[in-house]
Amino acid sequence: MNTGLDYLRFKTAALVVLLAVGASTVVATDEVVAVRIPERRAGAVETVLSSPILHVDYGSFGWWLLNPADAAALNAAGIDHQIVEEPYILTLGEERFDLLSGEPVQPPGWNSPGRQGPDLHLIQGVAPIRSSWLGDLRARGLDPVQYIHPFTYVLWGSRHEIEAAAALPWVRSHADFAPGFRVLPRWRQPDQPLVDVEILIPTVADPPTLITALVSLGATRVHAAPLEARWTVVSLTLPAETLASAAAVPGVYSIQPAPVDGGARGEMSNQVCADNIDQSNMAYPGYQG
């Protein structure tokens, strides 16, 4: 199958780009500079670059990973391009990190339990995610749940399925979606013995089963409501000491304090509803091609 991926030579060093778009000189650390180039300049690009690391053609633009020498040649040739700073840095649980270098160290109780059965996982691509790449994931039994910038999806599936998908040529890195990503640090130590929370659960993770697991942890005053077709928001009261255990329940996407002013649903729920869902109810379903 043609994935549109010209997988020339992808290096696994940390990717840190330290130059601004349009800078007159190229300054990069490590081995790679990430560049977007308009398709109309594709022919000119090929005459300038000597050893590109990666090229993915999206029709209207190309995504390139270049060594510093090729990046400097591109700049010297005056070819229109956009250099992407920190192209693979994720922000989750108020931590910024490159997934390829490993997940942040979580406090005790907030790390991944490493279960074999279905749960939430992360996969990051080497470039903007194509619709066909999402098809690759679904063909391996994984359900895309939510897009996270850059080039990353939260997926529902088993460890066997995520490890099979990790072998796809466009996959850069993968990891568990740890409990520490599901509850922000400032909300992990409530000052009351009971805490009212909202829990966001993807429909594919079977919310009734999750609610049963949460009740077994002592949850009370449980109320569930659909949020679009893909989500269920569960409002409930939890013993504060069970918050980390609740975050580790398979399929829990986020836990946050419930609104106390009678207002709209919480921040994470609103963000999912606001502008990250297209007409198909799938967040950022990928580039066509």
pLDDT(231) > 90: yes
| Percent of the chain surpassing pLDDT 90 | 65
Residue 153 lies inside a defined structural domain of this protein: yes
Q: Which amino acid is at 244?
A: A
User: Is residue 55 situated within a structural domain?
Assistant: yes
Domain limits at 196?
A: 183-274
Strand order in the sheet with 119-125: 143-148, 152-157, 119-125, 171-176
How many C-beta atoms surround the C-beta of residue 159 within 10 A? 15
Q: What amino acid occupies position 285?
A: P
Residue type present at position 207: P
Give the domain CATH number at 154: 3.30.70.250
* 286 within domain boundaries: no
Q: Among the three residues 61, 84, 107, which one is the final residue of a domain in this structure?
A: 84
Question: How confident is residue 260, by pLDDT bands cut at 50, 70 and 90?
Answer: confident
Of 181, 209, 230, which residue is a domain's last?
A: 181
CA–CA distance, 181 with 185 (Å, rounded to integer): 9
Residues 203 and 229 in one domain: yes
Residue 246 has pLDDT above 70, yes or no: yes
Q: What is the DSSP letter of 244?
A: H
Last residue of a domain, one of 84, 105, 131: 84
Q: Per the domain annotation, does 112 fall within a domain?
A: yes
Q: Judge if 112 and 43 occupy the same domain.
A: no
Residue 259 lies in a domain: yes
Same domain as 119, residue 163 = yes
CB under 8 A, 24+ apart: contacts of 111-114: 111/178, 111/179, 111/180, 112/175, 112/176, 112/177, 112/178, 112/179, 113/179, 113/248, 114/159, 114/176
Q: Is the model more confident about 21 or about 178?
A: 178
Number of domain units in the chain: 3
Tens digit of each residue's pLDDT (9 = 90 or more) over 123-143: 999 999 999 999 999 999 999
Burial 109-133 (b: 16+ CB within 10 A, else e): ebbbeeeeebbbbbbbbbbbbbebb
Mean pLDDT value across residues 273-282? 39
Question: Would residue 209 count as lying in a domain?
Answer: yes
Let me know whether 152 and 196 are in one domain: no
- The reply to whether omega before 250 is within 30° of 0 (cis) is no
> pTM to 2 decimals?
0.82
Residues 6+ away with beta carbon under 8 Å from 172: 10, 88, 99, 100, 124, 125, 126, 151
61, 108: one domain:
no
Lowest mean pLDDT among 58-72, 182-196, 262-276: 262-276
Which has the higher per-residue pLDDT, 142 or 29? Answer: 142
Domain shared by 12 and 71, yes or no: yes
Q: For residue 158, which of 141, 144, 146 has the smallest C-alpha distance?
A: 141
Residues in the chain: 289
Question: Residue 287 pLDDT more than 90?
Answer: no
Q: Is residue 141 part of a domain?
A: yes
**Whether residue 12 has pLDDT greater than 80:** no
Q: Is residue 279 part of a domain?
A: no
